[in-house]
A and B are shown apart, each in its own frame.
Chain A
Amino acid sequence: GQQLNQSPQSMFIQEGEDVSMNCTSSSIFNTWLWYKQDPGEGPVLLIALYKAGELTSNGRLTAQFGITRKDSFLNISASIPSDVGIYFCAGLRSGGTSYGKLTFGQGTILTVHP
């Protein structure tokens, strides 16, 4: 089956530091999504990527869709305490859209120390 390998599994950083996490796969995904999940809540969409090579920003967040379509990364600049949570990548086989089954990575647990 399709698997997404997300790393790192967890990160402990100081407020103000930059953060980088990534997802890789042995299969091609044609759409990549990044979600954040707070404890006891549902995933909230951060960034959607629809084209290979695409680089998209959302405030302090930047994500890229790898050129091979087998990877994606998410960067958070100048982290703040409210960035704490679990970050998930998710891939879709269908391209240019977000319709269909999402395959999720295992998540990156982010802890930010003030």
Chain B
Amino acid sequence: EPEVTQTPSHQVTQMGQEVILRCVPISNHLYFYWYRQILGQKVEFLVSFYNNEISEKSEIFDDQFSVERPDGSNFTLKIRSTKLEDSAMYFCAIQTDTQYFGPGTRLTVL
């Protein structure tokens, strides 16, 4: 099973601030995903990213969200202006024979 790491493990931020969540290290993968899980709820798809382009996104993934692969290794999710309801676990997943999830970043918006 491929190793997927995410940083930070926990991020606390003030409402309205920008946050960047990272999925590292990633190499030799073309297909990535971001999912989120609000506490006590199911995992929800946010966006898929293939060959440096968004291939699919959900209605949750509005203009406040963006994804990047800035240097060919990190895969990032940016939330431009966080809201209270953005508080959740955010999981990166990579695609090999199937989707493998990282350990997640717990985002807390105050």
Contacts and interface: CB of A to CB of B under 8 A. Distances in A.
Nearest to B43: A104
B53 interface: no
Contacts of B100: 45
Given A99-B31, A106-B42, A43 B97 contact: no
B99 A98 contact: yes
A42 B91 contact: yes
Question: Which of B1, B33, B42, B106 has the most A CB atoms < 10 Å from its CB?
Answer: B42
B44 interface: yes
A52 B106 CA distance: 36
A31 to B, nearest CB: 9
A21 interface: no
A28 B7 CA distance: 36
Interface size class of A (residues with CB under 8 A): 20 to 34
A107 B95 CA distance: 22
Given A33-B98, A99-B31, A101-B58, A41 B103 contact: yes
B35 A107 contact: no
B45 interface: yes
A44 interface: yes
A102 B98 CA distance: 11
Contact of A98 (B41, B56, B98): B98
A43 B91 contact: yes
B55 to A, nearest CB: 8
A74 interface: no
Contacts of A98: 95, 97-99
B31 A102 contact: no
A100 interface: yes
Contacts of A99: 31, 95
Interface string A27-67: 00000010100001111110010000000000000000000
B95 A102 contact: no
- Listed from nearest, the 8 A-B pairs whose CB atoms lie closest are A42-B101, A98-B98, A104-B43, A104-B42, A101-B45, A43-B101, A106-B42, A42-B104
